[in-house]
Amino acid sequence: MNKTKSVRFQAVEILESIEKNQAYSNLLINHAIEDNRYSNVDAALLTELTYGTLQRKMTLDYYLEPFIQNQKRLESWVRQVLRISVYQMKYLTKIPDRAILFEAVEIAKKKGHKGIANFVNGVLRSIQRKGLPSLDEIQDPIEKLAIETSHPLWLVKRWVNQFGFDRTKDMCFENLVAPHQTARVNICRTTVEDCIKKLEKEGYIVEKSSSVPDAIRSLKGNIAKSSCYKEGLLTIQDESSMLVGYAMNPKVGETILDACAAPGGKTTHIAEKLNNTGKITALDLHKHKVKLIKENANRLHLENIETKVMDSRKVRDHFSNESFDRILVDAPCSGLGVLKRKPDIKYAKVEADVEKLSDIQLNILSACAPLLKKGGLLVYSTCTVDRTENSGVAKRFLQHHPEFEMDVSLVDRMPKAIQPFIKQNEIEILPQDLKSDGFYIACFKKKV
């Protein structure tokens, strides 16, 4: 059996893997917790150190820069040790500095040699003596916001142009707040009230969502480990994402296409709203992701979902025109609405990605459009907050497809709490609006 690694050593290795290999932080953390059999306390600390350091990477580098000016070729793992140490010193007030320094030096000895250990010790002791540099030294307000909230400058500038400085500032700070776990109750098999009672009996602390009627929010405990989850009474899903099911507004017995379906959260929501009737054809490009849709459907006891491995840009090769009552295109996007859950994204994306993705999104919508029956609904959604991908794509789609119009009834089927975020028949939710993911939804109706 492998020897259990210290939490901080493991955190450094995860951060190193993310930086070098663009690995997914959530998967690495979960594997590390299982492999090392960490206690709940150690698992929580590993998660905090990894996500916290990742979330604030640019801020931490700003703090470190005066102390490592002559170390331009500093090995990546050494920088991770310093980042994780400064993160604890600055943001985790319950951990004493002596423990932080001791652990950092021990990691440096194990991964390097005495010289590197002495260097790490020297940098951290200098920070102890002199204190961290002030962010107020940054004169430009947009640059200061970028460094203070650790968002790339190009992204902050782009958001300021789209949303204004104040909305951008609120969004950047909200992205640093750890998200609540939320779940959608399977209304085919139980009620919100009964689900809450069962979870409370298991020791979870949960409450009804204030935004979405069939949602609950966990205040304590991972409800993905609950018997309610295993029995298919709920699905882990963000509240913003659940709004797609309301936008779709499926009617019993209808035939529906979900063009970019994995891992199946929205697919299964639509299936539940159909009360297990009709038929949903769920597509994804990757075989292993299609498997996730099947697993979710089986766990929820849903029998009206058929899955296919397919590039949704080629749907016309496989389906007849006007063969679906409703179509969902939850398109591949930049993911800039989910930065509080996946902070790795903000460092991995570049501005050119946004333009490229907007073309892919339009291509998928255009491919699916002929498959919709007259009078049917085509819902377009993303988990990004960029208007080029969102309202920009919606506008381009309508210009290319005069047989469609915006669905003016979208507002009528949305939960009351969401209605303030509907403008020009589009839903635009920023992370600070519902303390959830940033999200966009547009609904097009095919003219009769």
User: Of 193, 211, 236, which closes a domain?
Assistant: 236
Residues 369, 398, single domain; the answer is yes
Asked if residues 234 and 216 have their Cβ atoms less than 8 Å apart, the reply is: yes
Measure the CA–CA gap between 415 and 393, rounded to whole angstroms.
25
- The half-sphere exposure of 64 on its side-chain side, counting CA atoms within 13 A, is 27
CB 43 within 8 A of CB 35: no
DSSP string, 123-155: HHHHHHHH-PPPGGG--SHHHHHHHHHT--HHH
Which of 39-43, 117-121, 148-152, 352-356 is the least confident region? 39-43
Tell me the average pLDDT across 277-306. 94
The pair of three-digit structure tokens given for residue 237, joined into one six-digit string: 């899903």
Token pair 């539940």: residue = 272
**pLDDT reading at 71 higher than 70:** no
Model confidence band, residue 208 (pLDDT cutoffs 50, 70, 90):
very high
Which CATH number belongs to the domain containing residue 107 in this structure? 1.10.940.10
Catalytic residue, chosen from 228, 260, 333, 383, is: 383
422 shares its domain with 346: yes
Tell how far CA 18 is from the center of its chain: 16
Number of neighbours of residue 353 by Cβ within 10 angstroms: 16
**pLDDT at position 157:** 98
Of the ranges 3-7, 240-244, 320-324, which one carries the lowest mean pLDDT score?
3-7
Distance CA 448, CA 438 (A): 33
Which CATH number fits the domain that encloses residue 435?
A: 3.40.50.150
Domain count within the chain: 4
Same domain, 155 and 81: no
Regarding predicted confidence, which is higher, 181 or 70? 181
| 159 and 193 together in one domain | no
Helix (H, G, I), strand (E, B) or coil at 430: coil
37 and 108 in a single domain? The answer is yes
Q: Indicate the pTM of the whole model.
A: 0.93
Is 88 in the same domain as 42? Answer: yes
CB atoms within 10 A of CB 52: 22
| 228 part of the active site | no
Q: Is residue 248 part of a domain?
A: yes
Q: Does residue 2 lie within any of the structural domains?
A: no
- Look at residue 22 in the predicted model and tell me its pLDDT: 75
Pair (119, 165) in one structural domain:
no
Within a domain: 123: yes
pLDDT digits (tens, 9 = 90+) for 296-330: 999 999 999 999 999 999 999 999 999 999 999 99
Q: Domain containing 13: what range?
A: 7-133
Digit-coded pLDDT (tens) for 432-444: 999 999 999 999 9
**In the predicted structure, residue 288 carries a pLDDT above the cut 50:** yes
Task: Clarify whether residues 330 and 401 are in a common domain.
Answer: yes
Question: Using CB atoms within 10 A of its CB, is residue 420 exposed (0-12), middle (13-18) or buried (19+)?
Answer: exposed
321-346 mean pLDDT: 95
**pLDDT grade, residue 69 (50/70/90)?**
confident
Q: Are residues 366 and 386 in the same domain?
A: yes
Residues 243 and 228 in one domain: no
State mean pLDDT over 271-281.
Answer: 95
| pLDDT at 1 > cutoff 60 | no
Reply yes or no on whether the pLDDT at 27 is more than 90: no
Q: Are residues 14 and 39 in the same domain?
A: yes
Considering the domain architecture, whether residues 99 and 76 belong to the same structural domain is answered as yes
- Provide the token pair at 110: 């194990």
